A and B are shown apart, each in its own frame.
Chain A
Amino acid sequence: AQRVTQPEKLLSVFKGAPVELKCNYSYSGSPELFWYVQYSRQRLQLLLRHISRESIKGFTADLNKGETSFHLKKPFAQEEDSAMYYCALAEGSNYKLTFGKGTLLTVNP
């Protein structure tokens, strides 16, 4: 069975500080991983996917198969980054996603 673990429920940083949201997974196959973000009173939206290897809103995430991790990083956090972040793992051909429990990021002024 696959599983996604986000060890931090809450993460608080100051504006301009680096931020890292942790995500670890367990999956027997070749993983496809995503980060989704939910800003206050908004719908869940895709932030980035590992196969794209892109940077969105200054965020990057690298898949580390050895450590089975997909941590989300940003060198300088902004107040508008405050949101709920979910790591998700895709399963097989039916497009199911397994979500972690989420990390609430608060960026303080």
Chain B
Amino acid sequence: GAVVSQHPSRVICKSGTSVKIECRSLDFQATTMFWYRQFPKKSLMLMATSNEGSKATYEQGVEKDKFLINHASLTLSTLTVTSAHPEDSSFYICSAARAGRGHEQYFGPGTRLTVT
């Protein structure tokens, strides 16, 4: 149990366009979901914390108007990268905290975004 999926796994888009990434908890309800960005050979950088039905909380330095997060249900969160630029190219990973499991997070497989 505790599987998190992400879609798409890989996306290429043109500069200036927007792209949406979905994160789903398949077999549990996620009280909180998180979005991370992972740079090559570097650690995960938390971008924002998302709670169902409320506005996401963004980390310092993360532009909330550029990285739109919607948490529509206890099993789905979406990240939309608006007006993408090549510097937004990265590996985006979501995770979900399971109700009753405290701080334990379950991670999605990640989405490779390439902006041309």
Contacts and interface: CB of A to CB of B under 8 A. Distances in A.
Contacts of A102: 42-43
Interface string A78-109: 00000000100010001111111110000000
Given A94-B32, A94-B57, A95-B97, A43 B107 contact: yes
Main secondary structure of the interface of A (DSSP, over half): strand
B102 interface: yes
A34 B42 CA distance: 18
A43 B104 contact: no
A97 B105 contact: yes
Interface residues of A, number: 20
Contacts of A43: 93, 107-110
B11 interface: no
B112 to A, nearest CB: 12
B49 A94 contact: yes
Interface residues of B, number: 21
B32 A95 contact: yes
A37 B104 CA distance: 13
A45 B107 CA distance: 7
B103 A97 contact: yes
Main secondary structure of the interface of B (DSSP, over half): strand
Contacts of A86: 43-44
B43 A34 contact: no
A95 B43 contact: no
Q: Which 10 A-B pairs have the closest CB atoms?
A: A90-B103, A44-B107, A95-B97, A101-B43, A43-B109, A43-B107, A99-B43, A95-B32, A99-B44, A95-B103
Interface of A: 32, 34, 36, 42-46, 49, 86, 90, 94-102
19 contacts: A32-B103, A34-B104, A42-B109, A43-B108, A43-B109, A44-B95, A49-B104, A86-B43, A95-B49, A95-B97, A95-B102, A95-B105, A96-B49, A97-B34, A97-B103, A97-B105, A98-B46, A100-B43, A102-B42
Given A36-B107, A44-B44, A97-B103, 18 more contacts: A32-B102, A32-B103, A34-B103, A34-B104, A42-B109, A43-B108, A43-B109, A44-B95, A45-B107, A49-B104, A86-B43, A90-B103, A94-B49, A95-B34, A97-B34, A97-B46, A101-B42, A101-B43
